[in-house]
Structure 1
Amino acid sequence: MPVHTSNSSQGSPGRGLGLGLALGSALAFGGSGVAAKPLIEAGLDPLHVVWLRVAGAALVMLPVAVRHRALLRRRPALLAGFGLFAVAGVQACYFAAVSRIPVGVALLVEYLAPALVLGWVRFVQRRPVTRAAAVGVVLAVGGLACVVEVWAGLGFDTLGLLLALGAACCQVGYFVLSDQGSDSGADAPDPLGVIAYGLLVGAAVLTLVARPWGMDRAVLGESASMDGTAVPAVLLLAWIVLIATVVAYVTGVVAVRRLSPQVAGVVACLEAVVATVLAWILLGEHLSAPQLIGGAFVLVGAYIAQSSTPAKAAPEPVAAGGAERDVATRGTAV
């Protein structure tokens, strides 16, 4: 079923604030992998790091969930989907990926999400897309080939690349679900409430999957190494929970509401740049010149793909004689 983004925020006085929030979200998200990888290398399982991140953030957001408890009755499917895909799915796949491949490579693979959105629109829904959007997809896929160095027979761990691709699939759900209901006026679900319950649902799902009772808690009382520099593990965990999760999700979802998933997604491409630079400086993960060029193509392709509106198709009547819908409204139709 198509999900249409809201037009109401386009050109509004809050657009500048929305861009600022989207940029802040990209910066906050970009630091998550850099902080998580030392914890994983210190002995924590990637799923345990994800569980600590999501469960800690859910605890911080618990008062917000209590305040918006009516959402459980009004939007149960939205909360379940957000928790499963936008929280548990993205984070579990991404952290598992960075445990096997460089942080920058994992994020660049994740930014195939715009191409996946357009692929769904074109081949599953059988709706036309613009020529510019198709060019963006080609650039992103070609850039990804350089990032993973296909000429060397995939120089990276294949499972790690597949996990990063799984994060890309879940990221599509994040942008779409963040905008769900934004055109419902006063009945639109509060984004903070959606985040709070999404984190609670994600924590519940991850508890079953990660089984945190088997976690090596002693690691949290020690130091982790960031390219030879000892950093308290609990400090890294605090950064992951408070900044890279609570702040990142809150600013990201509010930005999507003000800008639309397309525009917010374009700004979010800076997350890959931030993560790559931080991984280079703090973890010593250097990318080769072809990989950097390929990464630039991925981001440019993602920008073009997300900023290109799907081509208009002939309107189709809604069942039961309702009004006709234009499937190419401003924003993403998935």
Structure 2
Amino acid sequence: MPVHMTDSSPTGHGKGAGLGLAIASALAFGGSGVAAKPLIEAGLDPLHVVWLRVAGAALVMVPLAVRHRALVRRRPALLAGFGLLAVAGVQACYFAALSRIPVGVALLVEYLAPALVLGWVRFVQRRPVTRAAAVGVVLAAGGLACVVEVWSGLSFDALGLLLALGAACCQVGYFVLADQGSDSADDAPDPLGVIAYGLLGGAAVLTVVARPWTMDWSVLTHTARMDGTPVAAWVLLAWIVLVATVVAYITGVLSVRRLSPQVAGVVACLEAVIATVLAWVLLGEHLSAPQLAGGALVLVGAFIAQSSTPAKGAAEPVAGGLPERELAVREPVA
């Protein structure tokens, strides 16, 4: 995964709109966990919730898949890998983690992905990274230690933490695959088409893994409880599919076309803050002061690792390898 060089200054035209779209994407993605957890607690298996989310979004995106059907012939490996890692892998690991650890913790652990990307560049590709980026990795690791409270003997569920780390690793796979699809700026695959086929491929993989025919469908006809407040299960599912997946993906892609990928990625770090605040308000998941401080360190580390730049006027290495017109998916399709 070579590190591409791109201009760090997006044009002024559409910058305000791009920033608004990036914030909207972070808001949409950040609300997925607080809507999914009540469904899991109501009796749905985490994998079944993931399948409902991805399959529902895939159905909505079918028209885009038909429009970009030439991608199946041009980029079959990219589409298959994107569906397996960036959609199925991230979503399955993240939602499984939600069943064992708080929403904010799961998402903060997942935001180690920018640091892991730099680790790939430095130790696998053996390419140099900036000192600021290395500082970002250290800060993110230290913040994670505070989030999981290592001094108390790892008070959080170990399997839940491993699942959240798995989601972060799948995000690294997303960055690698996105870079492989960017070898030619003029011939780069359309992001909307890749997202559509990624969702379709992810839904196919999750159908085999989740076995939705064993799901208790009656749960969707009842109510789930959000910190004691009853909410119709179908309302939560509709939010997850339409807002936290479809709207989140589309606004994210549109924002990266108006902002540089690194700027859009930095704004997307708000997702972790939004998810933590929503979990606090709607689910009653209170984090301690050290955990909040650790979460802030994770975000600061991710910010530095993803957006560290060389001297003014120089070309900027993009840590994730995403070109100006490449994918902008975050989430957890998560």
TM-score by structure 2 length? 0.90
Higher mean C-alpha deviation, range 284-293 or range 12-21: 12-21
SS in 1 for 2:231: strand
Structure 1 range deviating more: 72-81 or 16-25: 16-25
Deviation at 1:332, TM superposition (A): 2.5
How far did residue 171 of structure 1 move?
Answer: 1.7
Contact 1:5–1:261 (CA<8 Å) still a contact in 2?
Answer: no
The one-letter code of the counterpart of 2:318 is: G
- Please give the alpha-carbon distance, in whole angstroms, between the structure 2 residues aligned to 1:60 and 1:143: 38
Q: Which residue of 1 aligns with 2:68?
A: 68
Number of the residue aligned with 1:211: 211
Aligned residue number for residue 221 of structure 2: 221
What corresponds to 1:262 in structure 2?
Answer: 262
| Counterpart check, 1:330 vs 2:317 | yes
Structure 1 distance, partners of 2:178, 2:13, is: 21
Aligned-partner SS, 2:230: strand
- What CA distance in whole angstroms lies between the structure 2 residues aligned with 1:219 and 1:21? 34
Partner of 2:100: 100
**SS of residue matched to 1:128:** coil
**1:241-270 Cα shifts (integer Å, max 9, x gaps):** 000001111222333344344222211110
Q: Does structure 2 retain, via aligned residues, the 8 Å contact 1:140–1:298? A: yes
Cα distance in structure 2, aligned partners of 1:282 and 1:113: 26
1:182–1:193 distance in 2 versus 1, CA, 3 Å: same
Following superposition, the deviation at residue 174 of structure 1 comes to 3.4
**Identical residues among aligned pairs (%):** 84
Q: CA RMSD in A?
A: 2.1
Name the amino acid aligned to 2:319: T
Aligned position for 1:124:
124
Q: Deviations over 1:139-162 (max 9, x none)?
A: 111011000000011110000000
* Paired position in structure 2 for 1:321: none
8 Å Cα contact 2:175-2:320 kept in structure 1 = no
Q: Is the 8 A contact 1:9 1:258 kept in 2?
A: no
Secondary structure class of the residue paired with 1:44:
coil
**Contact 2:34 2:279 survives alignment (8 Å):** yes
Q: Aligned residue for 1:59? A: 59
Partner of 1:314: none
Contact 1:310 1:332 in 2 (8 A): no
Alignment size in residue pairs = 319
Supply the distance in 2 between the matched residues of 1:92 and 1:218 (Cα, whole angstroms): 22
**Structure 1 residues 267-306: aligned runs within 5 Å:** 267-306=267-306
Q: Residue in 1 aligned with 2:324?
A: none
- What is the aligned partner in structure 1 of residue 238 from structure 2? 238
Q: 1:164 maps to which residue?
A: 164
Matched residues in 1 for 2:185 and 2:117: separation? 26
Secondary structure of the residue aligned to 1:129 is: coil
Q: CA–CA distance in 2 between the matches of 1:246 and 1:203?
A: 14
1:97-148 Cα deviation digits (max 9, x unpaired): 0110000000000010111011111111111111111111111110110000
CA distance in 1, matches of 2:5, 2:240: 30
Change (3 A) 1:121 1:185: closer
Distance across 2 between alignment mates of 1:73 and 1:58: 19
Distance apart, 1:185 and its partner CA: 4.2
Q: Distance in 2 between matches of 1:333 and 1:91?
A: 19
* CA displacement 1:266-319 (0-9 Å, x = unmatched): 1111000000000001000000000001111111111111111489xxxxxxxx
Give the alignment of 1:55-204 within 5 angstroms: 55-175=55-175, 177-178=177-178, 181=181, 184-204=184-204
Q: Deviations along 1:10-44, whole A, 9 cap, x unmatched?
A: 33523333322221111101000000000000000
TM-score, normalized by length of structure 1? 0.90
* SS of the residue 1:61 aligns to: helix
CA contact (8 A) 1:71 1:193 kept: yes
2:332 corresponding residue in structure 1: none
> Which 5+ residue runs of structure 1 have no aligned equivalent?
312-325
